[in-house]
Every structure is written in C-alpha cells, then in structure tokens.
Copies of this chain bind each other. A is one copy, B any other.
Amino acid sequence: MFRKILIANRGEIAVRILRACRELGIQTVSVYSEVDRTSLHVLLADEAYLIGPAASRESYLRIDKLMDVAKKSGCDALHPGYGFLAENAALPRACTDAGITFIGPSAEAMEAMGSKTAGKQLARRANVPTVPGTSDPIENPEDAQALAQNMGYPVLLKAIAGGGGKGMRVVPSDAAFRSAWRDAASEALNAFGDPRVFLEKYLIGPRHIEIQILADAHGRCVSLGERECSVQRRHQKVVEEAPSPVVTPELRRKMGDAAVRLGRAGGYVNAGTVEFLVDADLNFYFLEVNTRLQVEHPVTEQVTGLDLVKLQIAIAAGHRLPFAWETITPRGHAMEVRLYAEDPDNSFFPSPGKIISFRAPTGPGIRIDDGVYEGWTVPMDYDPLLSKLIAWGNSREETIARLRRALDEYTITGIRTNVSLFRRILTEPEFLRGEIRTTWLDEMLARPYPPAAPPRPGTEEAALIAAALWHSAQSNASAPGGTEPQPAPSPWKMEGRRQQMDHLP
C-alpha cells in the first residue's frame, strides 16, 4: 500500500480523497493556490504546499509544480480527483516518468476511451450500442434520405466539421428532409468551409443514465450498477440518484455488461463511468466514457456500501477486486444534490464570498461531502460547488423525504446557494414520479414559478420581529461601547472580498 498520496485537486473532492487516505493510514499532501491557503483541503491534510496564484493554469493545472511537490514531499502516488487534470493523459505520463503511481487509468486507456470520437469507435468495436447513424459524411441527399427513412424520424443532421450547434438540424419528418439538408449543408459551408454532413437518430427526451465500472490490473472488471443523472441545468448535472426509477434488473444487467465489455476492450483499469442516453423505449446508446471518479460517485457508494476512493487506491496499489459483479447487491435508494454558491433567484449568478454562518444537517440517512466551513471565504476563481448533500433511504420516497428534511435544516448566510432550486425540484410531480429527462429541468425553469405555498401564519410577524431585533443588535454593536456579540458587519465582508480580489491576476 502507498505511504503518502498527493491530492492534485481542491474543494470537496480533495477532502473526500483525504478522508479515504486517513482511514487507510496513508499520509496526505495537498496543494493550494494563493486564495486557497485556508481551504478545508489544506487544513485537513498532513502536508500542504503552495503551487501558485489563483488562476488554475498557473497552479492546479501545472503538472511540473505537482511533480515538484510530489518529489519534495516523498509521495509515492497521486490522486487527480475530477476536473482540472483528471482526464489529461499528460498527468499519468508525468507520474510514470517521476516514478509515482497515478491513481486512475493508464494514459493509453484515457486516450482510447476519453475522447468522444475515440470512445465511440471503441464502443462500436465492443458491440456497445451507439446512437444509430453514420459517422462518415454522406455524399448525396438521396442516400441520406433513404437512410433516414430506414432509421425512422426524427433524425439529426450534423456538420462533419461542426461544433456549437452550427450546421445542425433536427428533421421531424420525411417531408422536411430535403430543405433541412440544404440548410444544414449551406450553414456548414458558411461556418466551416465544409458542407459535408452526417446523420444520427434524434432521441426524443432521452435520459442520462451511467454505469459505474471498476477494473483491477488482474483482469477483473465489474459494474456497480447505474446512476440516473437526467436532472441537468444546461448540460450540468444537479441531482443524481441510484438506482434509476426506470431501470429494470434486466436492463441493469444489459447496460452493465455493455459497460464492462467496453472497459475490457479499452484495457481499462481503475474506476470509470460509461455514460448512456436511454430513450423512452429503454433502448440505451453509448454517449461517452469518463475516465475518472465522478462528482456523483457517492450515490453508488450509498447503495452498494463500497468506498470507491479506497477501491481506486487499492486497485492502483495492484490489489485484486475482492468481489464479483454478482455479489454486489444494491440496497435502498440514494440521491445527491449539488449545493452551489449561486443564486437561483437571480439568473444563477455565482455568489462567492465569506460564509458568515453555516449549519449543516445531520441525522439518519444523511451524508455530506463538504469542502467549506463557517468563516471561510469562497473564492471566486473556481467552480462554485460547495458541498454535496446525499440522502439514503429504504425507498425513493423515503430518500426524497430525507433530502427535503435536510435541505430545510441546511442554513448558510453570507453567500447565496441553490438550495431553493432543490426545494422546488423535490416537490415537482414529474420528478416525484421519476418522469425526468435531460431537458426536464431547463423546461421546468422556463415555466413560470408555480404560486408558492403561502408561509404558515405568523411568518410575516416573525420576520418583522427578527428584523427589528437584529437591526437593533447591529446598531448597538457598532455604537461605541456596544456590548453585543459582534456579527461580522457587511463592510468586513466587503473588505474580505476586496483582499481576495487583489490576488487576482
């Protein structure tokens, strides 16, 4: 087993990895940028080293600095977390050169599976269903239309050279095919100087369901079941759960087999996730592979009882997986919400700043993977993920009830969070019935807010009394000779932010 692990990340995932190391008796080394000196992952680590200014490209993305820290502190392994360099094949290569074990797949497996196109080719070779269509351009519209008829409408036309939605057209019916083809091709020509398009089946309201796999270096590759991640805002997952409300044991087995087949075909070792789109008829299509730990890995941990980070470390140390796929029996239901420092009532604007007060829910069935504490200033330089709130229950209903209870107990002041978004999602009838798809949340947010349940009688009066009492305490405290406990005043917060801004390039 390793003696000391470098955690090449920050925030909640760095803390998560650090906790696993501590439980395994492994020393931890954190790295930090100038604005992260007081971050939780620095406080909890055994050792921590400054690696540069706030901007990621000058700190958390600097492989050379990471290698310097690893060597100087005597680390024998490195965990990349997610984001930053986690899917950059240059990092495992640098680790190999430095004689440090990278906790993740090999550079080769990362490249073979990580990119969308390489992954799709591998999927075809491994006989894993992909979205029907061509990946080569089609020369003439007649062939294309025949193919579309064959495939069934709607279909999607996509520019070969495409990106950002240019040269893309949804074709709802055969009648619309010819004009859509002309539009797509001419738009593609204008945008990329290349008119060629190809054809894909257009999935209506698909779900995003992914399979967690684990593979050791001794040829065992297992599926730990699925996660349902269809609740997304602008392609960003915000609620994840396991099991999926629609996956049957039969489908679970089929998707798990496909994911394992893909993992084997790519020579994959360590933890990885195979993402699928699932249509209304429960057909599944390969989307991409994430060659790393996912943000939402805790929901799989809660239903399987496994600790994925510890297993990643054990696999990297050359251990054999101690179980077969058949022995993994998910229990109950788990759901995660991602708490962000952003204001759902104000266009989801980011809300960095000093956390004035913070009380996190606890009790039965509640887990928090956190990266923040009271008094800490959330820097404006990174992803706004504060913590993940994860609930477990015997049923989906109990899990949702626990999550709602926990959200009601979660209080934080000084910054805004998206807690109210989850309060709303967790009462939407469609969500409660599990009728969700990747477009569902954006559609929900586009609808006018339903009239809120009126606050219970007395709330208004209580608010008035609180406002008056707080205001008078504030005035007393700021008056000379005031004896009240001094709530951090607004100017102080402002100053904290200003100091932090001064660190910016």
A interface residues with partner B (beta carbon < 8 Å): 15-16, 19-20, 22-25, 44, 298, 301, 305-307, 331-332, 359-360, 362-370, 373-374, 394, 398, 401-402, 404-405, 408-409, 485-486, 488, 492
Question: Would you call A364 and B298 a contact (CB within 8 A)?
Answer: yes
- Contact present for B362 and A44 (CB under 8 Å): no
- Grouping DSSP codes into helix (H, G, I), strand (E, B) and loop, the A interface class, with mixed when no group exceeds half, is mixed
- Please name all residues of chain B whose beta carbon is closer than 8 Å to the beta carbon of A305 when the two chains form the complex: 331-332, 394
Question: A364-B298, A402-B23, A408-B22 are contacts. A359–B373 as well, Cβ < 8 Å?
Answer: yes
- B364 pairs with A367, CB closer than 8 A: yes
A364 to B298, CA, bound (A): 8
Number of copies: 2
Q: How far is the CA of A402 from the CA of B331 in the complex (A)?
A: 21
Cross-chain contact of A22 among B16, B405, B488 (Cβ < 8 A): B405
Q: How far is the CA of A398 from the CA of B401 in the complex (A)?
A: 29
> Within the complex, what minimum Cβ distance (angstroms) separates A487 from chain B?
10
Is B373 a contact partner of A363 (Cβ separation < 8 A)?
no
B331 with A401: CB separation less than 8 A: no
How far, in whole Å, are A402 and B404 apart by their CA atoms in the complex? 27
| B405 x A364 contact (CB < 8 A) | no
What's the Cα separation between A15 and B23 when bound, in Å? 29
Which 8 A-B residue pairings sit nearest by Cβ, starting from the closest?
A23-B401, A362-B368, A22-B405, A19-B363, A23-B405, A486-B486, A362-B370, A23-B402
Bound complex: CA A360 to CA B367 (Å):
12
| Shortest distance from the beta carbon of A378 to any chain B beta carbon, whole Å | 17
Task: Tell me whether A363 and B394 are in contact in the complex, defined as CB-CB below 8 angstroms, given that A405-B22, A486-B486 are known contacts.
Answer: no
A363 to B13 CA separation, bound complex (whole angstroms): 11
